[in-house]
Amino acid sequence: MVTRLVHRSERLAEIERMLFRSTIGLRVVEIAEACGVDRRTIYRDLSLLTDIGVPIYQKDGRFYLNHEYYVAPVRLSINESVALYIAARGLSHATEQHNPHVVSALKKLSQILPDSLAAHVLFTVEAGHSNPVDRAFVTTLETLTRAWAECRQVKLWYRSADSISTRAHEFAIYFIEPNSTGILYVVGFDYVVQRVRAYQLQRIKRVQLLQSQYEIPIYFDRRRFQADTWGMMRDDAGDKTVEVVLTCSEDLAATIRERARRIPQRITVMSDNRCIVRMNVSDWREILPWVRSLGAQAEVLEPKALRDQIAAEASKIAQVYQAKA
């Protein structure tokens, strides 16, 4: 029975369903007859489906859906769609590495939004196309994502913050997570050191997908790694943490308490209404941008390396402004 699907969105959805159900592929004439349109229309529809990410390929005159890379469509409300848009924009602002997959995901998202919202999302998409892409970083992320999805081990070559050389690790990916400054970490089991570790994606110089598969242990506690706003467990510090001690006003202490609510912290109010804030983080370098944002409202007391870094930067800034006074 031929059913003429007037609305293109209905026809696109039906073509996708037909290809999903078929194990031997479909010819264009078969799809056209099922949808009640001509073959030229179907060719245009297949091209559009490919453009928005449906993994369609052609072989011997038949069209197939690549089930290995196919993700079933999800129905989203307007509020859910806007929430994903806001999350994607937030990630784009926070991270230094441009991710073209965020741009392509927003393009697909615009297809289901009302015109007034879709126009803005598409404007954002067009602006994102001009951003430079670090292909090495994107390739690393793509390989790690595939390994995560297929539960396959990887071999990665990693350079820690305190080293100029790389070290090879065989690794099982448990999840990928950004910290509050947009830095991406891959968390999983390192077979070399025989423990769960977190490695920064920007420091992975090469990654190779292996055939060996793995299962995430049922006793693995993700919360331990997601509790630290500023950067998981440091890759070269094991379970060690660094105590950061700040002195600031009472008002700022309240702001810090809210900003770092997921980090255990101790706030002591002094007799002059100043506060001393103590918190333990994985790596003081991860919170450097945040400490900079506090400016003269807070003073770093510990660790000395963080205090020296802020003091050196403040001295340089002072020299710049004094020279122009």
Report pLDDT digits (tens) over 150-165.
Answer: 899 999 999 887 678 8
Q: How confident is the model at residue 232 (pLDDT cuts 50, 70, 90)?
A: very low
Q: Is residue 110 exposed (0-12), middle (13-18) or buried (19+ Cβ within 10 Å)?
A: buried
Q: Locate tokens 């998409």: which residue?
A: 125
Q: Locate tokens 């999805």: which residue?
A: 149
pLDDT at residue 181 in the model: 65
Q: What are phi and psi of 305, to 5 degrees?
A: -65, -40
3-state secondary structure 280-322: EECCHHHHHHHHHHHHHHEEEEECHHHHHHHHHHHHHHHHHHH
Average confidence (pLDDT) over 238-245: 75
**Distance, CA of 173 to CA of 207 (rounded, Å):** 12
Average confidence (pLDDT) over 209-237: 71
pLDDT at residue 231 in the model: 46
| pLDDT: which is higher, 151 or 225 | 151
pLDDT at residue 239 in the model: 56
Range in 102-111, 135-144, 223-232, 275-284 the model is least confident about: 223-232
pLDDT at residue 6 in the model: 54
pLDDT at residue 5 in the model: 53
**Distance, CA of 242 to CA of 302 (rounded, Å):** 9
Report domain 8-65's class: mainly alpha
Range in 42-46, 125-129, 186-190, 260-264 the model is least confident about: 260-264
Average confidence (pLDDT) over 291-307: 89
100 has pLDDT over 80:
yes
3-state secondary structure of 97: coil
pLDDT at residue 263 in the model: 60
Answer whether 269's CB lies under 8 Å from 235's CB: no
Report pLDDT digits (tens) over 22-54.
Answer: 878 999 999 999 999 999 999 999 999 998 888
Average confidence (pLDDT) over 286-311: 88
Q: Which CATH architecture has domain 242-323?
A: 2-Layer Sandwich (3.30)
183 has pLDDT over 50:
yes
> Domain residue spans in the chain?
8-65, 78-128, 135-226, 242-323
* CATH number for the domain whose boundaries are 135-226: 2.30.30
Range in 2-16, 104-118, 272-286 the model is least confident about: 2-16
Strand 204-213 relative to strand 184-190: parallel, antiparallel, unpaired?
Answer: unpaired
Domain 8-65 matches domain 135-226 at the CATH topology level: no
Answer whether 263's CB lies under 8 Å from 242's CB: no
2 has pLDDT over 50:
no
